Structure 1
Amino acid sequence: MASIFSKIVKGEIPSHKIAENDDFLAFLDAFPITAGHTLVIPKREIDYIFDLEEKAYSDLFLFARSIVPALQKVVPCLRIGLTVIGLEVPHTHIHLLPLNSMADADFSKKIKTSQDELAALAAKIRAEIQ
């Protein structure tokens, strides 16, 4: 059964894309814990990050890293944090989190944001990447 992320890759579920290439996709989390909370995934469905082939693993992190400068320009923060948990969706993903304090990394708290706000934020971040 395809994960929700595989359905996003195929365009079956809408998302607020930030960046994309042949192998990877970055998009705003639909239920963010901070403004700009971004998910970075391989397009190929692999459940566990440590099951990725070495090159895919390295390339995933390099792709995520390429998004950070744009995220920092658009979302005021002290730094961009990165975490891999991998329990909610059976598809490898990296969380990029704009952080101003450790409290910003609390996954038990979601912020309220509208689809229009996510779309506008994604557009601003994309503009900084291109």
Structure 2
Amino acid sequence: MIIAGEIPGRFVHRDDEVVAFLSIAPVTPGHTLVVPRAEVDDWTTLDPALWSHVMMVAARIGVAVKTAFDAPRAGLVIAGFEVPHAHVHVFQTRGMADFDFADAKPDAPAAELDDAHRRLLAVLGS
């Protein structure tokens, strides 16, 4: 629904095959979901060329979150249980504790999400 514009999203990347937008429940500021437009439930069944494109976009977003938040690393997680649509989580990380999705902030203030959005767009040049 976010891809179709039925629900608002803070997009940082859009092309014909893939979109990327901020998570509404970030594990760290700037947590972004990279999502193929094709409605595929399980990432292991994605067309290899599309999977490659998803990963290229994820790498670009990874560099951006590291830069925007002065982080030493970018984390990448494929979970796939939240919604029946393949997606990749990309977020800035300072250690393994940042990979605990139990610490996600489902009630992250809009101002924090807006700030992260602005910071990522500034780095991505969007």
**Shared fold, TM over 0.5:** yes
Q: 2:18 aligns to what?
A: 24
User: Cα–Cα, structure 1 residues 113 and 76, in superposed 2: closer, same or farther, change >3 Å?
Assistant: farther
Query: 1:118, 1:97 → 2: CA distance?
Result: 13
How far does residue 76 in structure 1 lie from its aligned partner after superposition?
Answer: 2.7
Q: 1:8 aligns to what?
A: 2
Does the CA contact (< 8 Å) of 1:18 and 1:123 recur in 2? no
Identity over aligned pairs, percent: 34
- TM-score of the superposed pair, with normalisation by structure 2: 0.92
Q: 1:4 aligns to what?
A: none
Q: 2:39 aligns to what?
A: 45
Does the CA contact (< 8 Å) of 1:97 and 1:105 recur in 2? no
Q: 2:71 aligns to what?
A: 77
What do you get for the CA RMSD once the two structures are aligned?
A: 1.2
Structure 1's consecutive aligned runs of 4 or more residues displaced over 3 angstroms after TM superposition are none
Query: 1:124, 1:100 → 2: CA distance?
Result: 18
Query: 1:123, 1:11 → 2: CA distance?
Result: 19
Q: 1:60 aligns to what?
A: 54
- TM-score of the superposed pair, with normalisation by structure 1: 0.89
Q: 1:92 aligns to what?
A: 86
Query: Unpaired segments of 5 or more residues in structure 1?
Result: 1-6
Which one of the candidate residues 107, 111, 114 is aligned to 2:109?
114
How far does residue 16 in structure 1 lie from its aligned partner after superposition?
Answer: 1.0
